[in-house]
Structure 1
Amino acid sequence: MSTISMRKSTLVAVGLAVAGTMALTGCKNGNEDPAAPSAPSSSAPTGAPASPSAGGYSEAPGGAASPSAGGYNETSGGTGGAAGAAAKPGQTFKLGETATVPFDSGNTKGGTIALTVTAVEQGNPADLAPLNLGDRVKGMVPYYVRYTVKNVGTVDLSFTSVSHIKGLLPDGSEAQGVSVIGKFEKCKEESLPKGFTNGQTQQECAIALAPSAQTKVTGAQYWNNPYMSKGKELSWK
């Protein structure tokens, strides 16, 4: 997976409220696992910074999620079932359906979230202007993958980040993504807040780029552990 990164040193007036690092992200190789950010200070921007490496986009591994003692529920159905009935690796959902997902992030272990991709919305190429990506995104069209995270387990998920969401093109291939440190008002992706315990819910968003106006982003995938292997991702279409 290739990565293009740059650092912005000034505030921008439209959309991006806090300047920082952005990155264009390409195809994953199945081994990346961005770590959750530590508890932010009052002055720190939300979100986890992209960290380019020689092998592509890579950050400290967050550790593998462990299924319940009974393993994955093989008959959980299209909506992923209630908490404790984890979605099967490779399972496909309709937009608006919910998957119950075991969730580990950094030092936070044993969590469970209900993950729902609610919509894939087409944006305008002009939306990307505040990111100063120039020719890197020439001809591309942004889409906003909107999803909901609900804590349905017993572990406090404060300050963790559920960011392993990518857009899908009609042929099933991965759309290029954009990671932004700071607030991009068109599509906010933030760490879970303090006190994110059972029953707490947060709306999230991921940016996906269609290569042209003739190609649409039509779905989404979640690829955190234990769904990182090729063909094991959870999909919404």
Structure 2
Amino acid sequence: MSTISMRRTTFAAVGLAVVASLALTGCENGDEESPAQPAASAPGSAPATSGAPTGPSTGAGAAPASAPGTAKSGQVFKIGEAAEIPYDYGDFKGSRIALTVTAIEQGTPADLEGLDLGDKANGKVPYYIRYTVKNIGTTDMSYASVGHVSGLLGDGTAAQSLAVIGRFEKCKGESMPKGFANGQTQSTCAIALAPSAQTKVAGAAYGGNPYNAANKGEAIAWK
């Protein structure tokens, strides 16, 4: 997996890292997510990167060992449909969320201007994967970061991901706010890049625990 990382030194600039998606070989990053820091400690913190998930399938997968209603490994949902999943990272082990991809919006190549991608952006078209996170467990998930959401091209292969350090107004990757308790919902966004205008990002996938190769799982998807 190749990584392109850039940092701007001017006051209003943003840095970014383009994370090339992995081929669908079951090579999944199983590292835990770290909780996002409160705003006061955010400057200078390293961005969370999300590995591209393995390709989802409609075949039956083994259900994660958790509560009834939990999304099965490899399960495919419709856009707008919620997937109930465990969130087992750091201080939030044992948490539970409902993850919903609400829309996949096509941007324009001009959206990438000012990010100093250079010729790395040539021909690329950004897509914005908008999703919501609802706390359906009993754990306070203040400042948690729910990543591992990526794009899927029309043929089912993983799209390239773009992680922006700083604030990108067209697609704000929001962490959970303070006091994010049961019943609360937060909207957030992930960026995927299509290789050309002729290729579209047609779906999205979540490849966090337990839906990754490290846990003998398979990403869940929305199409």
| TM-score bracket for the superposition, by shorter chain length | 0.7 to 0.9
Query: Aligned equivalents of 1:47 and 1:180: distance in 2?
Result: 13
Query: Aligned equivalents of 1:47 and 1:102: distance in 2?
Result: 26
Decide whether aligned partners of structure 1 residues 167 and 120 sit closer, same or farther in structure 2, where only a CA change above 3 A counts: same
1:74-112 CA distances to partner (integer Å, 9 max, x unpaired)? Answer: xxxxxxxxxxx2100000001011100000222221000
Among 139, 145, 151, which residue is 1:161 paired with? Answer: 145
Query: Aligned equivalents of 2:44 and 2:146: distance in 1?
Result: 13
Q: Is the 8 A contact 1:47 1:182 kept in 2?
A: no
Q: Which residue of 2 aligns with 1:26?
A: 20
State TM-score, norm by structure 1: 0.79
State TM-score, norm by structure 2: 0.84
Query: Aligned equivalents of 2:117 and 2:77: distance in 1?
Result: 33
Query: Aligned equivalents of 2:32 and 2:98: distance in 1?
Result: 20
- Runs in 1 of length 4+ with deviation above 4 angstroms? 45-48
Q: Is the 8 A contact 2:30 2:209 kept in 1?
A: no
Q: Which residue of 2 aligns with 1:63?
A: none
Q: Map residues 50-199 of structure 1 onto 2, 5 A cutoff.
A: 50=48, 67-68=65-66, 73=68, 85-199=69-183
Decide whether aligned partners of structure 1 residues 107 and 146 sit closer, same or farther in structure 2, where only a CA change above 3 A counts: same
Q: Secondary structure at the match of 2:166?
A: coil
Query: Aligned equivalents of 1:101 and 1:170: distance in 2?
Result: 25
Q: Is the 8 A contact 1:47 1:181 kept in 2?
A: no
For structure 2, list consecutive stretches of 5 or more residues without a partner in the other structure: 53-63
- The alpha carbon displacement at 1:35 in A equals 2.2
For structure 1, list consecutive stretches of 5 or more residues without a partner in the other structure: 13-18, 58-65, 74-84
More displaced, 2-11 or 88-97?
Answer: 2-11
Q: Is the 8 A contact 1:40 1:46 kept in 2?
A: no
